[in-house]
């Protein structure tokens, strides 16, 4: 230890980034914080540096500080190795008016300590305090989807800078998908000469125009890719900031762009016919091994993500090679996928790397060193833990940052859903798992899918402040949750981020949840008997048989368990309310929503009928409307108003969209 002890004096003015965020705004919140007396002044020209921690600490101050020869320093900053640390990322700070002692377990931990010191800076100096800190989860990450919309390296570096500020330690890059292949692979040049370019700038236009590709350099080419040199430089940039880049190469699904460039890798050998690799062909395994070799050469990360999600597997059933392989293995299509993933797990292991995949990969017989990213239900986490895999939680309901973060109609177009800051923050990873399993969770990740995010500014808008909630839960854990306190700190941090040129959503102007859903609605049919002439979908039961008369109205998203879902032809919505006795009626109304990205539509036809015997109905209202596909997100009340006397009320809704959904939250009778 002593051989690395040395003392230098440095110009203190440049020591700390000019955050001026009050110490009460630390984010993520440290595990333990005790305020001290006074401030460590940053207005003195020099401080003495004592480094007892060697290069681990050197990385911090040599990058940030200018050395000075002045010997008159009155203040000291001392770096020491944290002994018996609870985690390699643990650090301690002891700050008084005269000195700062930084104790940390590793180079990364010194970085975290340094970020905290930056956040402790006020106009008077660095706030005196004692901090004892370590992360709740060892994997804290953000996924950026640069396939759906390509973003320049400068944008990714900017996000790495922000992520480092909030103690993230992984950046997952979704580098390949149907909308564009984004990584130079020298052996397969068409991946970036063709599959990285499309005639339309936005994913939406591209998708609506038949999802075709074009050639690099052609007049209509939009998109791009990263060269291997650029990626190597990016990896080094991230590593200097304590962030490991985890590259994702999708297989066997989400690969239409590969099938367009190299159709011989598909079952039919024809472009634009399937999204999936042929899983029975030797060519597929050769190709993916060769790609992964180049990927491993660029990315030193122990973790290599192979996707694995949502393969359609459609062409596999008719493909002689896939059929032969399934016969050989004695398995079905799912088994064929599992076998493919297991193959690449072994392949990565043979190079000292470890496979990461979306939760579909659980099906494979994989090595225990696999990491599963759970994006569907918690049961997937349970399964993964049972297999002994590491689990990173990234469930759609809490971590999909592509959903609307505020009232949809007040926001730029998004894919749908509603995921406000408070909901992200409320996430308790593995809440319903047994304690022993919850302890096994490795980390959490926020996913920014980019289908509806065509610009870098918009990406930042969707990321912040919600990524800060991921950072807080990932670092501080969930035992000391206090949303009001977090929100206040997030506002302060967003002010700082905007000052740094980051385009954040302004949480101060948040409109919040759909007003109708905030308090119960009173009406004549509350609690009455409901007869379902057609069943509601088992996927979207909401409150079950009483849902439409429970007074509980839906919020901005059909996924909030307050909207009941119906699907099918010929009036899939068809319910009769039995009010128990004849009543004077003046209106029957119901709200519907449209979420085009999720194939949810306003009814094309809507009818209200009344009856006194429950058999012979008299139609009192009927309306039709054409389907307007340009409405990405909308809410509509359909209502009969008039005068009638009846015991039974029948409500019917129809959609002509094939496989389309109707969602309704309540039938309000007055
Ligand atoms: C995913 O959302 N398909 C991982």
Q: Are residues 104 and 252 in the same domain?
A: no
> Is pLDDT above 50 for 612?
yes
407 occurs within a structural domain:
no
For residue 195, the Cα-to-chain-centroid distance in whole angstroms is 25
61 occurs within a structural domain:
yes
Kindly state the percentage of the chain with pLDDT values over 70: 95
Q: Are residues 193 and 115 in the same domain?
A: no
The residue-averaged pLDDT of 638-666 equals 97
**pLDDT value of position 74:** 83
Domain end (from 81, 112, 133): 133
Q: Are residues 219 and 86 in the same domain?
A: no
Tens-digit pLDDT profile for residues 136-184: 999 999 999 999 999 999 999 999 999 999 999 999 999 999 999 999 9
Please identify which residue in the block is written with the tokens 């004077």: 584
Q: How far apart are CA 180 and CA 197, in angstroms?
A: 7
Tens-digit pLDDT profile for residues 503-522: 999 999 999 999 999 999 99
Q: Are residues 86 and 167 in the same domain?
A: no
653 occurs within a structural domain:
yes
Q: How far apart are CA 267 and CA 280, in angstroms?
A: 8
Active-site residue identified among 254, 360, 402, 406: 254
Q: CA of 80: how far to CAs of 33, 93, 289, 388, in Å?
A: 19, 10, 44, 36
How much distance in Å is there from the Cα of 358 to the middle of ligand 1?
A: 7
Q: How confident is the model at residue 3 (pLDDT cuts 50, 70, 90)?
A: very low
How much distance in Å is there from the Cα of 15 to the middle of ligand 1?
A: 42
Q: Are residues 104 and 33 in the same domain?
A: yes
Which atom of ligand 1 lies at the shortest distance from residue 394's CA?
A: 4
Please identify which residue in the block is written with the tokens 């965020």: 21
Lookup: tokens for 664? 């309704």
The answer to whether 174 is a known catalytic residue is no
> Is pLDDT above 80 for 117?
yes
Q: Are residues 110 and 246 in the same domain?
A: no
Ligand 1: does its nearest atom lie under 6 Å from the Cβ of 404? no
> Is pLDDT above 50 for 18?
no
Ligand 1: does its nearest atom lie under 6 Å from the Cβ of 376? no
199 occurs within a structural domain:
yes
> Is pLDDT above 50 for 609?
yes
Domain end (from 133, 156, 177): 133
Which atom of ligand 1 lies at the shortest distance from residue 358's CA?
A: 4
Which atom of ligand 1 lies at the shortest distance from residue 449's CA?
A: 2
Neighbours of 75 (CB within 10 A): 18
The residue-averaged pLDDT of 548-575 equals 97
**pLDDT value of position 5:** 41
As to burial, measured by CB atoms within 10 angstroms (0-12 exposed, 13-18 middle, 19+ buried), residue 219 is exposed
Q: How confident is the model at residue 11 (pLDDT cuts 50, 70, 90)?
A: low
How much distance in Å is there from the Cα of 477 to the middle of ligand 1?
A: 24
Lookup: tokens for 268? 């039919």
The answer to whether 133 is a known catalytic residue is no
How much distance in Å is there from the Cα of 193 to the middle of ligand 1?
A: 26
Kindly report the CATH number assigned to the domain that includes residue 437.
3.20.20.80
Ligand 1: does its nearest atom lie under 6 Å from the Cβ of 358? yes
Q: Are residues 46 and 77 in the same domain?
A: yes
For the range 163-166, what are the long-range contacts, defined as Cβ-Cβ under 8 Å and sequence gap of 24 or more? 163/241, 163/243, 163/467, 163/471, 164/111, 164/115, 164/241, 164/242, 164/243, 165/115, 165/118, 166/27, 166/28, 166/115, 166/467, 166/468, 166/471, 166/475, 166/493
Q: How confident is the model at residue 4 (pLDDT cuts 50, 70, 90)?
A: very low
**pLDDT value of position 12:** 54
Q: How confident is the model at residue 365 (pLDDT cuts 50, 70, 90)?
A: confident
Q: Are residues 106 and 191 in the same domain?
A: no
Q: Are residues 74 and 18 in the same domain?
A: yes
**pLDDT value of position 212:** 97
Q: Are residues 120 and 188 in the same domain?
A: no
Active-site residue identified among 177, 184, 257, 591: 177
Give the single-character DSSP code of 536. Answer: P
Ligand 1: does its nearest atom lie under 6 Å from the Cβ of 400? no
For residue 158, the Cα-to-chain-centroid distance in whole angstroms is 18
Active-site residue identified among 52, 132, 310, 413: 310
Domain of residue 118: give its range. Answer: 5-133
Mean pLDDT, all residues of the chain:
94
128 occurs within a structural domain:
yes
359 occurs within a structural domain:
yes
Q: How confident is the model at residue 99 (pLDDT cuts 50, 70, 90)?
A: very high
Q: Are residues 115 and 160 in the same domain?
A: no
Lookup: tokens for 44? 């003195």
**pLDDT value of position 544:** 97
CB 592 within 8 A of CB 664: yes
Ligand 1: does its nearest atom lie under 6 Å from the Cβ of 273? no
CB 611 within 8 A of CB 647: yes
Domain tally for the chain?
3
Domain end (from 105, 133, 161): 133
Q: How confident is the model at residue 23 (pLDDT cuts 50, 70, 90)?
A: low
Q: Are residues 161 and 175 in the same domain?
A: yes
The residue-averaged pLDDT of 450-470 equals 98
Kindly report the CATH number assigned to the domain that includes residue 625.
2.60.120.260
Q: How confident is the model at residue 46 (pLDDT cuts 50, 70, 90)?
A: confident
How much distance in Å is there from the Cα of 21 to the middle of ligand 1?
A: 36
CA dihedral sign of residues 658, 203, 361, 319: positive
The answer to whether 177 is a known catalytic residue is yes
By residue count, the chain amounts to: 670
Residue nearest to atom 2 of ligand 1 (CA): 375
The residue-averaged pLDDT of 61-82 equals 72
**pLDDT value of position 16:** 52
Q: Is 527 helix (H, G, I), strand (E, B) or coil?
A: coil
Output the pTM of the full model: 0.93
Lookup: tokens for 558? 């059909």
CA dihedral sign of residues 12, 14, 16, 22: positive
Q: Which of 310, 372, 393, 559 to mutate to test the pocket of ligand 1 (most atoms within 8 A of CB)?
A: 310
CB 641 within 8 A of CB 587: yes
Residue 470 CB partners (closer than 8 Å, separation 6+): 140, 142, 399, 424, 444, 445, 446
523 occurs within a structural domain:
yes
> Is pLDDT above 50 for 6?
no
334 occurs within a structural domain:
yes
Kindly report the CATH number assigned to the domain that includes residue 128.
3.30.379.10
> Is pLDDT above 80 for 653?
yes
Q: How confident is the model at residue 42 (pLDDT cuts 50, 70, 90)?
A: confident
Which atom of ligand 1 lies at the shortest distance from residue 310's CA?
A: 3
As to burial, measured by CB atoms within 10 angstroms (0-12 exposed, 13-18 middle, 19+ buried), residue 253 is buried
Which atom of ligand 1 lies at the shortest distance from residue 307's CA?
A: 4
The residue-averaged pLDDT of 536-556 equals 97
Q: Which of 141, 307, 375 to mutate to test the pocket of ligand 1 (most atoms within 8 A of CB)?
A: 375
Residue nearest to atom 3 of ligand 1 (CA): 309
């Amino acid at each position: 230890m002593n051989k690395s002890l040395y003392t230098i004096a440095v110009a203190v003015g440049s020591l700390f980034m000019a955050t001026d965020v009050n110490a009460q705004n630390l984010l993520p919140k440290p595990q333990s914080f005790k305020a001290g007396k006074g401030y460590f002044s940053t207005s003195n020209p020099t401080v003495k540096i004592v480094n007892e921690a060697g290069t681990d600490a050197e990385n911090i101050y040599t990058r940030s500080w200018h050395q000075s020869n002045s010997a008159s320093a009155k203040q000291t900053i001392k770096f020491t190795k944290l002994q018996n640390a609870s985690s390699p990322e643990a650090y301690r700070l002891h700050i008084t008016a005269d000195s700062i002692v930084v104790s940390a377990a590793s180079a990364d931990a010194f970085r975290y300590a340094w970020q905290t010191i930056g956040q402790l800076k006020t106009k008077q100096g660095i706030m005196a305090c004692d901090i004892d800190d370590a992360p709740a989860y060892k994997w804290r990450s953000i996924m950026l989807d640069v396939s759906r919309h390509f973003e320049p390296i400068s944008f990714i570096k900017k996000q790495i800078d922000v992520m480092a500020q909030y103690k993230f330690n992984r950046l997952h890059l979704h580098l390949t998908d149907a909308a564009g292949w984004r990584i130079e692979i020298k052996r397969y040049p068409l991946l970036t000469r063709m599959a990285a370019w499309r005639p339309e700038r936005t994913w939406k236009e591209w998708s609506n125009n038949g999802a075709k590709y074009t050639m690099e350099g052609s007049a209509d080419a939009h998109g791009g890719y990263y060269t291997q040199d650029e990626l190597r430089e990016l990896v080094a940039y991230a590593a200097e900031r304590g962030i490991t880049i985890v590259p994702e190469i999708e297989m066997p699904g989400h690969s239409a762009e590969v099938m367009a460039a190299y159709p011989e890798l598909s079952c039919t050998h024809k472009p634009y016919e399937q999204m999936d690799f042929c899983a029975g062909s030797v060519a597929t395994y050769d190709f993916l091994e060769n790609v992964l070799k180049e990927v491993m050469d660029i990315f030193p990360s122990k973790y290599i993500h192979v996707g694995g999600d949502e393969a359609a597997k459609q062409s596999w059933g008719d493909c002689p090679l896939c059929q032969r392989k399934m016969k050989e293995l004695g398995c079905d299509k799912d088994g064929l996928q599992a076998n493919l993933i297991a193959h690449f797990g072994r392949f990565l292991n043979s190079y000292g790397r470890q496979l990461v995949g979306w939760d579909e990969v659980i099906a494979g017989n994989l090595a225990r060193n696999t990491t599963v990213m759970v994006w569907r239900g918690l049961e997937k986490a349970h399964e993964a833990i049972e297999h002994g895999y590491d689990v990173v939680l990234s469930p759609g309901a809490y971590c999909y940052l592509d959903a609307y973060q505020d009232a949809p109609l007040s926001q730029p177009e998004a894919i749908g859903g509603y995921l406000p800051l408070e909901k992200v923050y409320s996430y308790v990873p593995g809440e319903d798992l047994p304690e022993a399993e919850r302890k096994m969770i490795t980390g959490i990740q926020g996913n920014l899918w980019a289908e509806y995010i065509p610009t870098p500014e918009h990406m930042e808008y969707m990321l912040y402040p919600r990524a800060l909630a991921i950072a807080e839960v990932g670092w501080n854990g969930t035992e000391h949750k206090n949303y009001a306190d977090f929100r206040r700190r997030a506002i302060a941090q967003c002010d700082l981020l905007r000052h740094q040129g980051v385009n954040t959503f302004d949480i101060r102007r948040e409109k919040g949840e759909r007003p109708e859903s905030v308090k119960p609605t009173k009406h004549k049919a509350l609690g009455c008997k409901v007869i379902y002439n057609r069943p509601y979908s088992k996927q979207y039961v909401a409150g079950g048989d009483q849902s439409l008369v429970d007074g509980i109205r839906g919020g901005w998203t059909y996924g909030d368990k307050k909207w009941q879902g119906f699907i099918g032809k010929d009036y899939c919505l068809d319910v009769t309310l039995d009010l128990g006795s004849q009543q004077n009626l003046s209106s029957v109304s119901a709200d519907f929503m449209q979420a085009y990205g999720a194939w949810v539509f306003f009814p094309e036809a809507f009818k209200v009928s009344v009856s006194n015997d429950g058999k012979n109905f008299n139609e009192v209202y009927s309306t039709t409307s054409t389907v307007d596909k340009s409405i990405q997100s909308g809410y509509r009340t359909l209502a009969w108003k008039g005068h009638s006397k009846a015991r039974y009320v029948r409500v019917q809704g129809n959609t002509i969209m094939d496989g389309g959904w109707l969602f309704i939250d309540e039938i309000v009778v007055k």
